[in-house]
Structure 1
Amino acid sequence: MKLVVRVKLLPTPVQAAALEATLHACNQAATWAAGVAFEENARRPLELRKHTYAEIRERWRLGAQAAQHAIKKTCDAYTTLKANLRNGRYGRPGSRRHARASDKPVVFRPEAAQPYDDRMLSWQHQARTVSIWSTAGRLKNVAFTGQAEQLEVLAAHRRGESDLVCQGGKWFLIATCDIDEATANTHPVGFVGVDLGIVNIAVTSDGARHCGRRVRRKREQDRDLRSKLQKKQTKSAKRRAKRYAGREARRNKDINHKISKRIVAEAERTGRGIALETLTGIRERVRLRKPQRTTLHSWPFAQLGSFIVYKAKRAGVPVVHVNPAYTSQECSQCHHIERGNRPAQAVFSCRVCGFVEHADHNASHNIRQRGWMVWVCGAQSTAPELTLIA
């Protein structure tokens, strides 16, 4: 299983200036290579290398490995763009948004991430320092720090490339680790159904609700502040909105980590698996009022699902994904499906058998039952292969 660990670099002012110059040079070279790739229609590393390698080495004074990575990064960016265009990420072909994305070369930000391999970067875990290549020469004894658990994982399981990133004036290395998965539980005694929703972020079939009033109120405050800053349209308001968006994203990510950890721990403790809804296309399928749409889109449900998946893999807990159709309208007792079974957002009342339950709990029971049926039918773990930040 691939796991990504982020550690913070603590460079001196001189080292930080060298790292900044390195990132700028690498991304300028990648932007120029992207223009050549666009003009020559050379989107593969070998093709693009013939057109750009020598000039990148001479013009930006990059080392051989750095030049190779700049070219590969350019090709990867075009591969991602092609996939996003094909999947409708930029609208339909012929639309203005689609044309803006496809009719011009890719451009890299001056501080976009730059990959480093073991020839360009070496780790000294005992001293907690790295030796890293830069355009000003090799920088030695660059200190790094991080959580003790993450540093242990990094020292024991790091494999492959690491990315150098600058975010808000702070320097980070994002390293890829290859961790062995725990022995999977092939005979679960049942499943924990997890319903993801608007009012409650996650509700399990055990009756646990993961949200709370404090989180809901904070989300409302975030939404109101975001709206006020967007209406002002001043430079200071835009800067503040950007800074606050990062803070909001980090807080949401922390909450998702906590929710996923509790769900996986409970499933592991009781010897059960986890049943999740398939969320692909949820924004296109669900019809909601405008305030509800804002609430739905402001929470990273896909991130929460991916956190549950990778934590479950580490714990050996099986995960299945089920069709979410009508889980909120189906009675978990008699399985009668009717829109009228939901007289209110939080209330489920079956019109046939009279069963009354909290709507989210009822939906989680349906997800649990569908998860068990999927497992019995032989679709063992349907969790996708993911690479995630610890």
Structure 2
Amino acid sequence: MESARIVGALARYTGDLDLAEDVAQEAVAEALVSWPRDGAPDNPVGWLLATARRRAIDAFRRRAARDDKYTLLATGESDGGDGHLWDPDRIDDDVLALMFVACHPVLSPEARVALTLRTVGGLSSEEIARAFLVPVATIQARITRAKKTIAAARVPFEVPPAADRKARLGGVLSVLYVIFTEGSTATAGDDLLRPDLAYEAIRLARTLAALLPGEPEVFGLIALCELTASRFPARTGPDGEAILLEQQDRRRWDFSAIRRGLAALAQATSAGRGLGPYGLQAAIAACHAHARSVAETDWERIVLLYEALGRVAPSPVVELNRAVAVAMAGAPGEALTMVDELVARDRLPGSHLLPSVRGELLTRLGRTGEARAELELAARLCGNARERAVLLHKAAALG
């Protein structure tokens, strides 16, 4: 539970994220031996920090070229471990700095995700690999390369200055969003959902909100995640099969998550600066949360919200989702024209989303032969077994 704070405090003082993690783990290993024998200390976190700092000093002693850092660390060694290394006023800064370092722009998106889950989330390499369905060695390599890149780029362990924070905050939010979306709809594998991954993203987002309470877009992301996660209980059947929105039993939705999501959306709105990309997506999710059925959903409002989102954060996925909303609002022909424009411009190449939506629209327009071909194409491109089964079932139902 305290791993991010401990590693953050150690990284601040050593200036070496890799070393901070190593000495923190060595301190835990020493605690597993000494605490059962001598009893747990009154201040366990302070004990771990003091022990880890001594290990760091030993490491610097072994590095003759690091005498300057050794001198810096050795100063004040006699404070017993309860001094400035564990300053309660710096705890929030340390965790926040750890987030910004793990999500630094010098790292690849995959490395940012892995390093954030490892250093801030405290997940093991095995847990991260299992969540993203990649070999453990791949995750370990990403984390190792990320730490070496941070060291080579001399990334300072600090919260960015206020002038730079807003630009860097977008990178942190995007990492948390990627983690959540992978948990809410897995890109590959046999499970539609990976709730543990999604809930970890929500936890990290709430940690970020506690550290930056004045940033409305952080609350926009929390709102989006909570409202989306509220549908998790109804999205799969007893055998893990996918249940589409129109067939979901809305009584199974998590209404406490809906309340939390709406409260976070209100917090994002109260800033009076207008909603950002995550806040607008949360507002769309709120339309679904308020509706008693698909038919009673305010699709006209959703179309308007997607239009606004397309101006703030344009992307082919936003255009595709707007086309779906236009179709649900009663204009499938117009929606098909929008999708065909995406096809003509070769947007989303290799994605199953485009033929999946196109197949749905062609079905609504009675063009079943074309619809079946599109749905079968979508199934071939889809990496998730549960989604693929839904697409094949739809194609088979067309005869």
Q: TM-score, normalised by structure 2?
A: 0.27
| More helix as a share of residues | 2
**Larger RCO: Structure 1 or Structure 2 (Cα < 8 Å, ≥ 6 residues apart)?**
1
| More strand as a share of residues | 1
